[in-house]
């Protein structure tokens, strides 16, 4: 199959050829046609599978550029980096269209004033993180009442804590009669629930081979005592001559500490987390891609939306909170058919959690031991006190995720086709 069989206009076909997209990926080949016909879409595909073109090409073809304050299309994403990536792709494709298309990319962490100035001349497409978009709406910098096409990219992440309430407020500002495209790397129950409420007879597409990371990725699990993880990381980098490593940790504090220890050991390392300024985050990624940095120590803000070509190694210094997060972290390596390696550090205190991740990911990995870094810690005793700190709260005393989704759906109008 080629792009020419999908119903795309001549200018957009020229754009795909110019940008080197010769053959549509599976997610593109099965969603572009229905999207062009005005159908709602619920699409699931692995990271790096071409979801941006799957919604970007139909979005641009259906536009009638006006350049006014009323945006015609809205793409909501969970992170600044993904917003920038999507915006860049749309602008590259739009260069080939007969009429100029204004694509506005807005996100938090930077001054709102330049973004307000950029919107003053009007826009056709807004690519945004939810919080900053709400701020811009409050400042009357953009109006959403004219949106004909809504895209949720990484929909499962948008429904995580901190996003659901903002998403509900934005959906309430959109016209009920619109076309909606939901894309995600996983079909989490939260996504299914929202889709059942907001999508109208959607085309459901799942092109994942299974729930596991791509087969090009070699996965390893290494047992190690918690205090020795940084030393083991340094040892592995030196022993295997890893040129670039993306290291995932649980908190911004851990990102700063581990990066500092690696720098003191002579490695070029930088932290990457949500509290850094946008300028610093952009610089870290630029240096990492250019191989001026060998190690980036990141929180899960880097597990979605980052496309780093030929990244050889990902290390789970701290284990992810869920099997889905494991998929997204590991998916940063082994992209576009390139080989990759994912290493997870497992301590006595995280062994039970690792077994749960492995079970849900259908992983059968031996727990390795590295000479000189053998694990000797014992697992801490499990508390039987339901009021003990760290148990995440008493069940039944706070709303469940399903409760929150029902409340979100109740606040938003039903959508229809544009």
Domain boundaries, the chain: 3-208+405-411, 217-368
Token pair belonging to 117? 């100035």
pTM, 2 dp: 0.63
| Mean pLDDT calculated for residue range 302-321 | 81
3-class DSSP assignment, residue 247: strand
- Rounded CA separation 245/119 (Å): 38
Over residues 127-147, the pLDDT tens digits come to 999 999 999 999 999 999 999
Over residues 373-402, the pLDDT tens digits come to 999 887 666 544 544 444 333 334 455 555
| CATH number for the domain running over 3-208+405-411 | 3.40.50.300
Topology (CATH level 3) of domain 217-368: Rossmann fold (3.40.50)
Residue 388: the pLDDT is 45
3-208+405-411 and 217-368: identical CATH topology: yes
CB 133 within 8 A of CB 52: no
Over residues 146-161, the pLDDT tens digits come to 999 999 998 877 776 4
Is the pLDDT at 370 greater than 60? The verdict is yes
- Rounded CA separation 238/341 (Å): 15
Residue 392: the pLDDT is 38
Helix ranges (H only) for 265-322 are: 278-289
Over residues 266-289, the pLDDT tens digits come to 999 999 988 888 788 888 988 998
- Rounded CA separation 330/341 (Å): 8
Q: In what order do the strands lie in the sheet with 367-368?
A: 269-272, 295-298, 245-248, 313-316, 340-346, 217-223, 367-368
Reported as a pLDDT band with limits 50, 70 and 90, residue 339 is: confident
CB 12 within 8 A of CB 97: yes
Is the pLDDT at 307 greater than 70? The verdict is no
- Rounded CA separation 391/178 (Å): 42
- Rounded CA separation 296/40 (Å): 38
| Mean pLDDT calculated for residue range 329-348 | 82
Q: How long a stretch of residues is the chain?
A: 418
Q: In the chain, how many H helices and how many E strands?
A: 15, 14
Is the pLDDT at 354 greater than 70? The verdict is yes
Residue 210: the pLDDT is 53
Over residues 62-106, the pLDDT tens digits come to 998 776 678 999 999 988 888 998 999 999 999 989 889 999 999
């Amino acid at each position: 199959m080629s792009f020419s069989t999908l119903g795309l206009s001549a200018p957009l076909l020229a754009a795909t050829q110019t940008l080197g997209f010769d053959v549509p990926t599976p997610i593109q080949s099965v969603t572009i046609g229905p999207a062009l016909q005005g159908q709602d879409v619920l699409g699931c595909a692995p990271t790096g599978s071409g979801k941006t073109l799957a919604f970007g090409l139909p979005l641009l073809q259906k536009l009638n550029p006006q350049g006014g304050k009323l945006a015609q299309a809205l793409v909501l994403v969970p992170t600044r980096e993904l917003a920038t990536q999507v915006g860049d792709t749309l602008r590259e494709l739009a260069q080939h269209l007969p009429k100029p298309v204004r694509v506005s990319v807005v996100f938090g962490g930077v001054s709102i004033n330049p973004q307000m100035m950029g919107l003053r001349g009007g826009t056709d497409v807004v690519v945004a993180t939810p919080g900053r978009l709400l701020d811009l709406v409050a400042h009357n910098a953009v109006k959403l009442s004219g949106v004909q096409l809504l895209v949720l990219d990484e929909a499962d992440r948008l429904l995580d804590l901190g996003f659901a309430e903002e998403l509900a407020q934005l959906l309430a500002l959109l016209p009920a009669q619109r076309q909606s495209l939901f894309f995600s790397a996983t079909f989490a129950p939260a996504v299914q629930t929202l889709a059942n409420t907001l999508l109208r007879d959607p085309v459901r597409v799942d092109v994942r081979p299974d729930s596991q990371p791509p087969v090009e990725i070699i996965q390893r699990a290494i047992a190690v005592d918690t205090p020795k993880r940084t030393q083991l990381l340094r040892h592995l980098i030196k022993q295997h001559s890893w040129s670039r490593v993306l290291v995932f940790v649980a908190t911004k504090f851990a990102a700063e500490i581990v990066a500092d220890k690696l720098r003191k050991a002579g490695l070029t390392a930088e932290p990457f987390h949500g509290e850094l300024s946008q300028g610093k985050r952009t610089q870290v990624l630029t240096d990492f891609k250019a191989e001026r940095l060998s190690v980036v120590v990141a929180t899960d803000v880097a597990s979605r939306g980052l496309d780093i070509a030929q990244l050889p190694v990902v290390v789970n210094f701290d284990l992810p909170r869920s099997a889905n997060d494991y998929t997204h972290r590991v998916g940063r390596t082994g992209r576009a058919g390139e080989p990759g390696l994912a290493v997870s550090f497992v301590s006595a205190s995280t062994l039970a959690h690792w077994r749960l991740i492995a079970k849900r990911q259908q992983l059968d990995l031996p727990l390795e031991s590295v000479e000189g870094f053998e694990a000797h810690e014992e697992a801490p005793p499990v508390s039987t006190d339901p009021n003990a700190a760290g148990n995440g709260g008493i069940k039944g005393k706070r709303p469940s995720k399903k409760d929150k989704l029902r409340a979100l759906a109740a606040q938003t109008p039903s959508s229809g086709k544009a």
